[in-house]
Structure 1
């Protein structure tokens, strides 16, 4: 009996363990931190051995194959030992893909992944397709394959998940954009991160489709390096050579595989970045044979994604917007670009090697104030204090919201769009956004 060791017992790890057990492997799960009770229960219910609070090397290094949580860096000592002894390390998505023949619609990019993934899932559900949501959002793909299989899966893929995927194949691969992010995990080399994103097209055939943003300079440069077998389906904001999705004279248009159009004003998602997300989602749905009227309705009534330019409420004439998902500079740029009123911008968190130059001009144009929110705000002070914009230094969400409340005037917008990861002060970006919303609503 082959031995599978799963490192990390969160949603993906626990799901992978259940699938491995179902497929007849000897399974052991190890987590260096504490395991949530619901995942302990899942493992116990399936008779899977587990440990928490550390790794027992003897029980890990004897694995035939290791399934690694995407959150675990390769520099971790136990991973280094596995690499040294040439143990094959894969992701949960790679493992799950071995045991299903379902259609895979996979989405990656530095920004817009969650919105686009959720929008495609919304369209497929509205169309009555048998569809599951997986990857960075939704339930573990492996668990669904094991216990709740679907004909289609809409999968959001991070660069970390793509790193450990080798034989997995996306029937429809969507690459929204590539801008610097997670450089701390890629030796501060942008090309390493780019290479990870480009793995989305790995193993695609002539029967598959590759949807990508035609205007992205990084993607354009990378395309020449690859022998792409899939049907290319580029999109752009305006019609240009090769694009099969674009905006023209206020019309949202798709050319392939069947012509489709609707009023741009009817799209439920607003802002330039959401034009790209809506085009990518529409192309994927059109390729999948979904009826025009369903695509049109779904693009019009999609409610949006929590923590992504989420309108919280108005307090004393001030608009509060939760964009906690903006964990890199480019995401913040898109958020600021969409602002139409003077903005109090909340920045800060765990810096990932950010270069804030890209947003400085928008900060100058749009911002009436800056509120720093982090354990260490020195880099923000160094970058923004000299711009002549009022600033406040805070180290908790309570301090932050109070500072915003003092700084904002009637008609202003308070925008939480931090540019950074959340792990210095919060459990995750959801915790950051939820704390923000709760405190704002109590003002």
Structure 2
């Protein structure tokens, strides 16, 4: 009997273990950290053997195949030993793809992929499609393949998830943008990160589609070097050669595919800002390629509510607007947030730096930001970079201290923007935890 070892006891790992069990494999799951009660109870109920807070090598290195959770770097000691043994390593997505013939809409990008994924899912679900949501959002793809069975899956894919995908194939692949992110994972070499992202177009055939932002210099440069057989659907703010989605001179959003074409006023889109225009274009093109009716696409683009922790309005306190953009874990995400803001921004930055280059946001900071509040265990890099670029900069080491500082230095008409540029793991368990704590701290200001 083939032995499958799953590393990581979170959503993707537990889902992969359940699918492997259902397919009759000898399954063992190991997590070097503590598995939460929810997942340990799920594994126990499924009678899947597991361990946590350790990796027992004799139970792992006898695997015929390893399914690795995306957060585990290939440099982890157990991964090095697995590689030395020549044991194949795949992702949960790769594993799940072996057992379904559902259509796959796969979305990646340094920024905007969660919004685009949820918007695409919203369009399809409201059109009556039997659709599943997976990847970085929703439930494990493997668990859904095992127990739910959908006709279409909309999957948000990070570079980490794409690393160990080989035979998996998208039907519609979406590439929103590529900007520096997670470079600590990629030996601080941008090309390594680009290569990981572009694994999304592996195995595409002429019957498949590749949707991408045509004004991204990194994407266009990579497309000059590699080829895909897929039909190409570039999008941009204005019409250019080969554009399949753009805004025309009359302010109409135009979506063109071989399947369906539609137009609608840009002002009718529920999501505002240039970055959300691109997200809406990518989701709209994906829906057109799946033959969703025009009226269903228009209606869904008009009534989508947005994503928690992404440019989320929290409250107005003493005339100051508070915006939660905790999902901005890299510099380019912060750029998009600042691009959509008015002037007089009090900006909260900080967290676990991933090799960030802050020069990208420098012009917008000088134009729109009146003060920066740094929030993290060690803010030295931020303080050194921005000290001469804004009128005021503050050093804080907790979220409550940061919000209190923002409240004291802002005045009516200002906007306090949490858009940290950094990962959350110095002070918080996740960007969601950081965003929720921010919203709680803002609510306390109103008491």
Residue 295 (structure 1) aligned to one of 294, 297, 303: 297
Q: Which residue of 1 aligns with 2:121?
A: 121
Bigger drift between 388-397 and 409-418 goes to 388-397
How far residue 388 of structure 1 moved from its aligned partner, in angstroms, is 3.9
Q: Distance in 1 between matches of 2:384 and 2:248?
A: 42
Q: Counterparts in 2 of 1:44-443, with a 5 A limit?
A: 44-249=44-249, 250-257=251-258, 258-443=260-445
SS at match of 2:225: coil
Q: Distance in 1 between matches of 2:193 and 2:408?
A: 40
How far residue 20 of structure 1 moved from its aligned partner, in angstroms, is 0.4
Q: Which residue of 2 aligns with 1:19?
A: 19
Bigger drift between 252-261 and 332-341 goes to 252-261
**Residues paired across the two proteins, number:** 443
Indicate if the aligned counterparts of 1:375 and 1:424 stay in contact, CA closer than 8 A. Answer: yes
Q: Deviations over 1:127-151 (max 9, x none)?
A: 0100000000000000000011100
Cα RMSD over matched residues?
0.7
How far residue 341 of structure 1 moved from its aligned partner, in angstroms, is 3.5
How far residue 74 of structure 1 moved from its aligned partner, in angstroms, is 0.8
How does the TM-score come out when normalised to structure 2? 0.98
Bigger drift between 384-393 and 158-167 goes to 384-393
How far residue 391 of structure 1 moved from its aligned partner, in angstroms, is 1.2
Bigger drift between 248-257 and 202-211 goes to 248-257
How far residue 259 of structure 1 moved from its aligned partner, in angstroms, is 2.2
Indicate if the aligned counterparts of 2:309 and 2:432 stay in contact, CA closer than 8 A. Answer: yes
Q: Distance in 2 between matches of 1:374 and 1:210?
A: 39
Q: Distance in 1 between matches of 2:390 and 2:282?
A: 39
How far residue 365 of structure 1 moved from its aligned partner, in angstroms, is 0.5
How far residue 387 of structure 1 moved from its aligned partner, in angstroms, is 1.7
Gaps of at least 5 residues in structure 2 are: none
Q: Distance in 2 between matches of 1:351 and 1:425?
A: 12
Indicate if the aligned counterparts of 2:343 and 2:367 stay in contact, CA closer than 8 A. Answer: no
Q: Distance in 2 between matches of 1:259 and 1:423?
A: 44
Q: Deviations over 1:280-319 (max 9, x none)?
A: 0100001100011111111011000000000001001000
How far residue 36 of structure 1 moved from its aligned partner, in angstroms, is 0.6
Q: Distance in 2 between matches of 1:88 and 1:379?
A: 40
Gaps of at least 5 residues in structure 1 are: none
How far residue 227 of structure 1 moved from its aligned partner, in angstroms, is 2.5
How far residue 322 of structure 1 moved from its aligned partner, in angstroms, is 0.3
Indicate if the aligned counterparts of 2:328 and 2:420 stay in contact, CA closer than 8 A. Answer: yes
SS at match of 2:321: strand
Q: Distance in 1 between matches of 2:32 and 2:182?
A: 22
Q: Distance in 2 between matches of 1:99 and 1:126?
A: 26
Q: Distance in 2 between matches of 1:318 and 1:232?
A: 44
